Amino acid sequence: MENKYLLPVEDVNDDKATITRLCFNDGDLVSKGDVIYEFETTKALVEVDAEHEGHIFYAVKVSKALKTGQVVCVITNNPNYQFAISNNPQPDASYMLTKKAQAFVEKNNLDLKDLDLSGIVREKDLAALLPNGPIGHEEHILFLSRSRNDVSYLLSNPEFRKLSSEEKIEWYRIQGHEIGENCKIGDGAVLIGNKITLGSNVSIAEGAYIESPEITLNNHVTIGRDTNLVASRLKLGAFTKVGDRVVIDISGGRNTDSSFICGTNCLIASESYVNVCHQVELGDHVALSPRSMIFTHSYWQSILDGYPAQFGPVSFARDSWLGAGAQVLPNVQIGEGAIVMSGSVLAKNVNAYELVGGIPAQVIKENINKKLSPSKKMTQLEELFADFNTHLRQHGFKSRLHSARKICLDDEGSITHLSLSQAYTQEDPNSILLVLEMDETGTSPAGEIYAIQQHRAYGAPSRVGRLLTEFLRRRGIYFISSNYEQAYSLHSSTS
Amino acid sequence: MNASILYKDIYKIRTFEEKVLELFSLGHLRGTTHTYIGQEANAVGVISNLNSNDFVVSNHRCHGHYIAFKKNLYALLCELMGKSDGVCGGRGGSQHLCDGTFYTNGIQGGILPLAAGLAYGAKFNQTGQIAVVFIGDGTLGEGVVYETLNIASKWELPLLVVVENNQYAQSTPIQLTLAGTISKRFEAFGINATELSSFDVLEISNAAKSIIDRVRESSKPYGLILNTYRFASHSKSSDGRDPAEVESMRKHDCLQITERLLQESQIESIQGIVNDEVEKVVLQALEA
Amino acid sequence: MKFIESIRNGLDSLLGNYPEVVLYGEDLIDPYGGAFKVTKGLSTKYPDRVWNTPISEAAIIGMSAGMAMCKMKPIVEIMFGDFTSLGVDQLLNHLTKYAWMYNNQVETPVTIRTAMGGRRGYGPTHSQSLEALLSTIPGLSIIAPSHYHDPGRILQQAVLEDSSVKVFSEYKLLYPQELQTPNTVKSGLTLDVSSDVYPIAHLSNCEFDNPEILIISYGGNALLLEQVLLDLLIEYELSAQCALPARIKPFDPLQIQHLISEAQVVLVVEESPKCHGWGAEVVATLSEAGLLSGKNVFRIGSAETPIPSSMAQEEQVLPSAAQIMETISQILV
Ligand SMILES: Cc1ncc(C[n+]2csc(CCOP(=O)(O)OP(=O)(O)O)c2C)c(N)n1
Ligand SMILES: [Mg+2]
């Protein structure tokens, strides 16, 4: 049996009172009529008597201001009574973070201990406190730092473009930019930025012009001839290929958001145009076909003449594809795996796995993809594999289907094995690999690996390798040629 | 009090009210109007004893009170006609008059607090004014009357409450609505009251004089119950009373009773003056 | 200073400086000092001009008109706002009519002070906020300050300089609240009080006058809304501003139209029923001026039931911070 004593309302207007005296210790036995505590309202000191007998336990401390109706104490016959919930749940913190600020702290791993915070702290308050907080950072990525010698040098000196690839790379490295191994910057090509980071095997073709305060081109990115890329931030993920005479610009105005962010394995085909006055973002494995156009602003006329202003980002989720000559208008989001038919004009969002087309684009079909099980995929590949065997023989190879997943062939005396296998890679536990292995004698070229679902080929392609990729391309499986030199040497050798 | 002076006011009210009914029938007035025909001796008898700065608060049937107190026929008629020369610029009309310390309102009983408040103000400012409020017998059904009587008694306000008991509230005879007596109502609140059944303006005036003096001197409220009768219908609507009853009451016409106190020549001269005035006022008001 | 003290001081200074001011109502003399203790001490200090009345709301409201016509400045206390209904005939057919109906030959500068609002457990007939009901009476001014105003000063101003008939609504829960100034507002909030005769208090969780959320409300609702502003800030960093006019009738919402341009959500909050409420009037006026097109507009008020005595049930019937947060977050989050 526990008897709760709540702080009573003593005065009409008081919603609080202060406890001035607690007359016992926790656990003490009290009798009816004992004065158990005293409180003070704005008007008077009031003593409260026990109405029960038993052990008393106080839920509050002296001089604590309490709201009327809150528990002051309990009289119970349980000598070991414990209060379930504290009466004062709020610790007296001198500052409080908004939810956004909390997320910011976590994201940036901030230690708030030494920061002089008080009151309610917003995300922007924290950002401003940081030496390299996002505000400074944004300014940094927003504008080229003209005070930097290298930038003004590059902008004002056409001689630079005449340097060889090696000389240019050397120069960038001296200026503190990061350029990975095996990169190539073709004749007349130039990169202008405050912070340039190139991964390995990045290849920039002749006449390309890349200008952005922050340029990041990851491993195996290739940039085509006479391509012009200008943005507030430019980031291309590994194995992304940008074709010839592509234009990315910031007409419509420069913004903190005027960035072009592209995932891995993307294709931006020749003569595409992307306006990045607002952010344009491509997820992994997105393709923009030739002459695609993406706009992040529209209307030339002034709002003062009654025209609407329209600015907004555009985004493509992974695996989506924009058909040739299609146009995308501001504020459009394209869902995962969606297809936009050639020549369409896209003014509205596209849901994942939708096929849309027309002017303006309408939904033509939903759920266009099929989720195939790994075993089904293997069966399909085995059929292709058998066809490839035939294909090889037609090209004069002596080849033989050793098993459903293995071809043995004799390439001018060297024995090569081509095998299809399911493998566990870091990227995908269900990866399917086609492996061209050197023969036991060790005279054949180094092995080649084709990761089918990653669209990626590893190793310098042999004659058989080239035949294989060409064959599979026509069956709907492609591999990204990862290196400019390869791409162009292949190009020239087939023409 | 001089009978000829009182007669002049009674005759003025009578003539004016008859003219009002005529103008109504001719379409010069709109809305409604409650004439005072038959009750003139009450207003004249009471108000003739007031100072000009005393407060008079009246009700829907207020023309008589106004004429007895303010005498401005032209301003009253213009008000009835909705003209800008009216006492309230045509905003109030028949039941809502204000002129100096004279106020009326058309909500039964609601004027009592106003009158009590004015009495309070007079007492507070020590001006020596008193407030007189006129109500009908039917208005005794309103609760706010008793709230006010209670307060006026308790706070000793110089307030005279005149109940003009004309036996009817609109169409309803007093027997159907009034429990107990009127005088007991005052008594219950410790307010002295005098009840008078008279159509003689001199008698009313004399009674009113001593009461008004007492109110002023004692600064206490007082009740004056005047049993009376109206000859015209309640307002512009039809009269549901038995015509024989109305006819039988004509012998109590205060106008004739007062005439008996005067000489023929006096009467003629007063009537001539008043008729001229009313005619002039009507012409003026019609043109205003 | 507390809200109640500010009003008491205001009354004290009125009585002290102006012999024509009188203060009366039910149970307001010492030692009791009024049901909410607002007038405590005043009857002792001014025994001739502060007095108790019988329980006669109609009569005491009505009498104030007569006093006012005698050049007095009466202040009537009606114990609970709910009881003003007993005096509505006097307000509607008498007090607010006289000046106009008598062609401005009289003035009735009367102030009716009364305690409004719920959240005290007083139940259906002692918890209402009748401002909206009373606001339908033409010519009646309704003043309902919050603790972000200076209620005592506003009261003095109203009594001395405003010749209209005024209902001065005091929200019960505000009485013990400390008055807030720009320097004392809770961290995260800013306060800006306009310099109008009846000021508009702008309480905001951002520095700028173009909030994403504009809330228009008055009086004791400020208690709820300060919480909402903080919640919006902490949960979502949404900018919100709350405009609290000290006088809600007449109130021209176009006075705050500059705050609306950027707002995506416009919210009016009142504790009386939303149906036919004050908020409806505010929204209609803004809408007629073409200021609300394309905005999300909400009225938040009480349910169309009496106000329950039980705290839990009362919470359901009266507007709550949670309800407001939900309304906003459905649109903006
Ligand atoms: C509050 C209110 N209810 C009803 C009326 C309608 N009304 C006007 S006069 C009247 C009768 C009043 O009777 P009484 O008080 O005896 O005055 P009398 O007309 O006999 O002079 C009524 C019912 C009104 N004006 N006010
Ligand atoms: Mg009658």
Residues in A closer than 8 angstroms to C126, CB to CB, are: none
Nearest ligand (C-alpha, residue C93) = 1
Whether the Cβ atoms of residue A324 and residue A343 lie closer than 8 Å to each other: yes
* Helical packing angle, C221-236 and A99-108, nearest 10°: 20
Polymer length in residues for chain A: 495
Q: What is the pLDDT of residue A68?
A: 83
Q: How far apart are CA C280 and CA C273, in angstroms?
A: 10
> Does any CB of chain C come closer than 8 Å to the CB of residue A387?
no
DSSP annotation of C174 reads G
Distance CA C47, CA C82 (A): 28
Question: From the CA of B63, which ligand is nearest?
Answer: 1
> Which of C15, C55, C67, C90 has the highest number of chain B CBs within 10 A, making it the mutation to test binding with B?
C67
Amino acid residing at A47: E
CATH of B3-287, one of 3.40.50.970, 3.40.50.300, 3.30.1360.120, 3.40.50.2020: 3.40.50.970
Block residue for tokens 């045509």:
B90
What are the start-end ranges of the H helices in A39-192? 99-108, 123-129, 134-142, 149-156, 165-174
Distance in Å, alpha carbon of C70 to nearest chain B alpha carbon: 5
Contact B104, B93 (CB under 8 A): no
Class of domain C3-174: alpha beta
Contact C176 A120 (CB under 8 A): no
Helix residue ranges, H only, chain B:
3-25, 40-47, 63-69, 73-80, 111-124, 143-154, 174-177, 182-188, 201-218, 243-249, 254-259, 264-287
Mutate to test the interface with C, among A12, A99, A126 (most CBs of C within 10 A): A12
Dihedral of the alpha carbons of B53, B55, B56, B58, in degrees to the nearest 10: 150
Helix (H) / strand (E) element for C88: namely: helix C88-89
Distance CA B66, CA B88 (A): 13
The segments of chain A whose pLDDT lies below 50 read 86-92, 133-140, 440-446, 483-495
pLDDT given at position A267: 93
Of the candidates A14, A120, A123, which has its C-beta nearest C188's C-beta? A120
Helix (H) or strand (E) holding C7: helix C3-17
- Residue B59 has phi, psi (to 5 degrees) of -120, -155
Q: Which position has the higher pLDDT, B167 or A435?
A: B167
- Interface mutation target, options A100, A120, A125, chain C, most CBs of C under 10 Å: A120
Instruction: Give one DSSP letter per residue of A296-359, joined into a string.
Output: SEE--S-GGGTPPPEE--EEE-TT-EE-TT-EE-TT-EE-TT-EE-TT-EE-S-B-TT-EEETT
Which other chains touch chain B, taking contact as 3+ CB pairs less than 8 Å apart?
C
Is C73 near chain B, with CB under 8 Å? Answer: no
Model pLDDT for residues A40-49, shown as the tens digit of each residue: 887 778 899 9
With H, G, I as helix, E, B as strand and everything else as coil, classify residue C66.
helix
Return all residues near A485 (Cβ < 8 A) that are at least 6 apart. A184, A203
Task: State the pLDDT at residue A442.
Answer: 46
Q: Return the closest-CA partner of residue B32 out of B241, B171, B233.
A: B233
Pull the structure tokens for residue A183: 């990169």
Among the residues of A30-158, which ranges form H helices? 99-108, 123-129, 134-142, 149-156
Nearest CA to ligand 1 atom 18: B136
Q: Please, which chains are in contact with C (at least 3 CB pairs closer than 8 A)?
A: A, B
Contact in structure between A120 and A96 (CB atoms under 8 Å) = yes
Nearest-angstrom CA–CA distance, A217 and A230 = 13
pLDDT of residue A485: 43
- CA-CA distance, A294 to A275, in Å (whole number)? 6
Atom 22, ligand 1: residue with shortest CA distance: B170
> Burial letters for A170-206: b for 16+ Cβ neighbours within 10 Å, e otherwise?
ebbeeeebebbeebbbbebbbbbbbbbbbbebbbbbb
Q: Do C62 and B96 touch (CB under 8 A)?
A: no
Interface contacts (B, C; CB < 8 Å)? 126
Cα–Cα distance measured from residue A40 to residue B258, given in angstroms and rounded to the nearest whole number: 77
Give the nearest partner residue to C37 out of A12, A15, A16, using CB atoms: A12
Contact flag A98-C233 (C-beta cutoff 8 Å)? yes
Provide the residue type at B10 as one letter.
I
Task: Please say whether the beta carbons of A100 and A108 come within 8 A.
Answer: no
Phi-psi region of A353 (alpha: psi -120 to 50; beta: other; left: phi over 0): left
Instruction: Determine the distance in angstroms separating the CA of A460 from the nearest CA of chain C, rounded to an integer.
Output: 51
A250 or C118, higher pLDDT = C118
For residues C45, C47, C49, C52, the Cα torsion angle rounded to the nearest 10 degrees is: 120
pTM, entire model: 0.68
| Torsional class of B262: left (φ above 0), alpha (ψ -120 to 50), beta (otherwise) | beta
Residue A234 structure tokens: 């430019």
What is chain C's mean pLDDT, rounded? 95
Domains of chain B by residue range: 3-287
Q: Pick the atom of ligand 1 nearest to B234's CA.
A: 19
Tokens of B285: 């008001």
Longest dimension (CA), chain C: 60
Number of H helices, E strands in chain C: 11, 13
Task: Report the alpha-carbon distance of residue C271 to residue C246 in Å, rounded.
Answer: 16
Q: Contact B136/B166 with Cβ under 8 angstroms?
A: yes
Listed as own residue / partner, the contacts of C306-315 with beta carbons closer than 8 Å and 24 or more positions apart are C306/C123, C306/C124, C306/C125, C307/C118, C307/C123, C307/C124, C307/C127, C307/C128, C308/C123, C308/C124, C309/C121, C309/C122, C309/C123, C309/C124, C310/C121, C311/C121, C314/C118, C314/C119, C314/C121, C314/C127
CA-nearest of A103, A141, A143, A109 to A124 is A103
- The sheet with strand A54-58 has its strands ordered as A2-6, A71-76, A54-58, A29-30
A and C: number of Cβ contacts within 8 A: 40
A241's enclosing H/E stretch is: strand A241-242
Cβ <8 Å between C176 and A13:
yes
Please provide residue A156's backbone torsions phi and psi, each rounded to the nearest 5 degrees. -100, -10
Q: Which residues contact C63 (CB under 8 A, 6 or more apart)?
A: B113, B114, B116, B117, B120, B148, B151, C74
Q: Which tokens belong to A185?
A: 């910057």
Q: How far is the CA of A221 from the centre of ligand 2 (A)?
A: 105
**Minimal CA separation from B217 to chain C, in Å:** 20
DSSP type of residue C233:
H
CATH topology match: C3-174 vs C190-332: yes
Which ranges of A400-452 would DSSP assign to H, the alpha helix? none
Indicate the average pLDDT of chain B: 96
Chain C residues inside the 8 Å CB shell of B124: 22, 67, 70, 72
| Bond from prior residue into C250 cis (ω within 30 degrees of 0) | yes
User: Is the CB of residue B110 less than 8 Å away from at least one CB of chain C?
Assistant: yes
What integer is the mean pLDDT of C228-255?
95
Nearest neighbour of C36 by CB, restricted to A12, A96, A118: A12
User: What number is the average pLDDT over the span B42-65?
Assistant: 98
Q: What is the ipTM of this complex?
A: 0.92
Give the residue extent of every domain in chain C.
3-174, 190-332
Tell me how far the alpha carbon of residue B104 lies from the centroid of ligand 1, in angstroms.
13
Cα B106 to ligand 1 centre (Å): 8
d(CA C183, CA A178): 52
C-alpha distances in Å from residue B201, one per residue of B15, B209, C289 = 17, 12, 64
Q: Is the CB of C233 inside 8 Å of chain A's CB atoms?
A: yes
B65 lines ligand 1 (CB under 6 A): no
Site to substitute for ligand 1 among B58, B105, B108, most atoms within 8 A of C-beta: B108
Cβ–Cβ < 8 Å for C83, C57? yes
Q: Do A98 and C234 touch (CB under 8 A)?
A: yes
Which residue of A12, A15, A120 is in closest CB contact with C234? Answer: A120
Secondary structure element (H or E) that encloses residue B88, with its range? none
Into which CATH architecture does domain C190-332 fall?
3-Layer(aba) Sandwich (3.40)
> Residue A368 in contact with residue A355, Cβ under 8 Å?
yes
Q: Which domains does chain A have, with CATH numbers?
A: 2-129 (2.40.50.100), 149-365 (2.160.10.10), 374-494 (no CATH)
Residues of chain B found within 8 Å of residue C52, distances taken between Cβ atoms:
none
Per CB-CB distance under 8 Å, the chain C contacts of B114 are 62-63, 65-66, 69, 94
HSE-CB for A410 with a 13 A CA cutoff: 4
Tokens found for residue A269: 């085909």
